[in-house]
Amino acid sequence: MLIVQKFGGSSVADAQRVFNVARIVTETYDKGNDMVVVVSAQGDTTDDLIEKAREINPDASKREMDMLLSAGEQMSVALLAMAIEKLGRPVVSLLGWQAGFLTNSNYSAARIKNVNTERIRNELDKHRIVIVAGFQGINRHDDVTTLGRGGSDTSAVAIAATMRADLCQIYTDVEGVYTADPRKVQGARKLTEITYDEMLELATLGAQVLNNRSVDMAKKYNVELEVLSSLKQVPGTKVKEVAKLEDMLIKSVAKDTNVARVMLVGVPDEPGVAFRIFSLVAKAHINVDIILQSVGRDGTKDIAFTVSADKGEAALNALRPYLEQVGAKQYSYDDSVAKVSIVGAGMETHEGTAALMFEALADANVNIQMIATSEIKVSVLIAREDADRAVAAVHKRFFEN
């Protein structure tokens, strides 16, 4: 079998953990598998490098930032390869460009155009374990690029997709995907399986197990993923097209505190207003999530929307001239909010799921500010101070009886 394994930063944080990973890799290799192993930078290395850059030049170009940040993964691939050498197995480490990762030139958030896996194939033919630096590639100008924070998951899935690997295992410091954050919610359970769509929603809604772009790519190329712990040898969670019916209405409760709510009170109730507002926000490169518009009354209406926590101010700045021009009564943003969501393909075929969630919130005396739904999720915006209580109440309602 061809197996791709990916190890996150915490799994290779120090020498002992590097050896732990080397052992997992060599055990799989010894069973006769071809192995491509993708690693992230050790521990907080990427954050530390960003801090180093700030001390020198807070406005450093993205090109130079990518040059700097890619160093983190260069270190970890070499260290892991050395550990495997010490265990006496043939091994070679490769940087993104050596492994054939061609990306576009969008530094700091580059997209993979293709992976030319010829070099990897050659190394596998020589029966070497191939260690590949995650998160990085090269553009057509031969400059180093990075895929954005958490990008190593995507590197691993891209290799698995291109090489049609039999399995793509994402090793991390949690044992899999849970019904809620197991560090916060007592009674949170590990899921054995979850669908791509559910995982995609969860990754986007704040669960920090998998990078959402990697899930998107896995779905597109039908790469079966397994999320599992590098520290504890127990089965993890499989992410696939169709998960077995576990008779679960919802799969997980997620919390996202990286959110701010922008309120625009008393804008004109006439055609084109939402268009003007959201094109101004888009022009400022700000992503909008939940949008709520009130019913017009006396010629005006109110619009509220959410953005990531650090973008509230910027959204208002982008809108201020327009809001002043049309005489909006009031505008502000609030970043003391949080988004709590339930996700599950089961709600597509069951009515009343949202009502159950709202009932749990009402019983816990949590006020809902905004609501958004899709076929497989319900999200509510609430006060941030209520968030942990809300997650616990909703989890209890769906999983603990």
Residues that bind ligand ASP (CB under 6 A): 8-9, 40-41, 46, 72, 134-135, 149-152
* Partner touching 312 among Mg ion, ligand ASP, none, CB below 5 to 8 Å by kind: none
Shortest distance, CB of residue 39 to ligand ASP, whole angstroms? 9
DSSP 347: G
Nearest residue relative to ligand ASP (C-beta): 152
Extract the tokens encoding 339: 């988004």
Rule CB under 5 A: say whether 40 interacts with Mg ion.
Answer: yes
Rule CB under 5 A: say whether 43 interacts with Mg ion.
Answer: no
- What CA–CA distance (Å, rounded) separates 57 from 94? 30
- What CA–CA distance (Å, rounded) separates 215 from 354? 25
For ligand ASP, the closer of residues 7 and 29 by Cβ is 7
* Partner touching 266 among ligand ASP, Mg ion, none, CB below 5 to 8 Å by kind: none
The answer to whether the beta carbons of residues 239 and 225 sit under 8 Å apart is yes
For Mg ion, the closer of residues 53 and 265 by Cβ is 53
Shortest distance, CB of residue 194 to ligand ASP, whole angstroms? 20
- Residues 6 or more apart whose Cβ sits within 8 Å of residue 212: 200, 203, 204
Extract the tokens encoding 200: 């995609």
Shortest distance, CB of residue 24 to ligand ASP, whole angstroms? 18
Shortest distance, CB of residue 135 to ligand ASP, whole angstroms? 4
Number of residues that make up the chain: 401
Shortest distance, CB of residue 63 to ligand ASP, whole angstroms? 17
Of 4, 6, 7, 9, the one binding Mg ion (CB under 5 A) is: 9
| Phi, psi (deg, nearest 5) at residue 75 | -65, -45
Phi-psi region of 101 (alpha: psi -120 to 50; beta: other; left: phi over 0): beta
- What CA–CA distance (Å, rounded) separates 225 from 239? 5
Shortest distance, CB of residue 18 to Mg ion, whole angstroms? 15
For ligand ASP, the closer of residues 44 and 85 by Cβ is 44
For ligand ASP, the closer of residues 41 and 209 by Cβ is 41
For Mg ion, the closer of residues 9 and 236 by Cβ is 9
* Partner touching 151 among ligand ASP, Mg ion, none, CB below 5 to 8 Å by kind: ligand ASP
- What CA–CA distance (Å, rounded) separates 180 from 2? 32
Shortest distance, CB of residue 364 to Mg ion, whole angstroms? 34
* Partner touching 152 among Mg ion, ligand ASP, none, CB below 5 to 8 Å by kind: ligand ASP
- What CA–CA distance (Å, rounded) separates 285 from 283? 5
For Mg ion, the closer of residues 49 and 292 by Cβ is 49
For ligand ASP, the closer of residues 147 and 254 by Cβ is 147
- What CA–CA distance (Å, rounded) separates 362 from 369? 13
DSSP collapsed to 3 states, 63-87: HHHHHHHHHHHHHHHHHHHHHHHHC
74-43-16 Cα angle (round to 5): 90
Residues that bind Mg ion (CB under 5 A): 9, 40
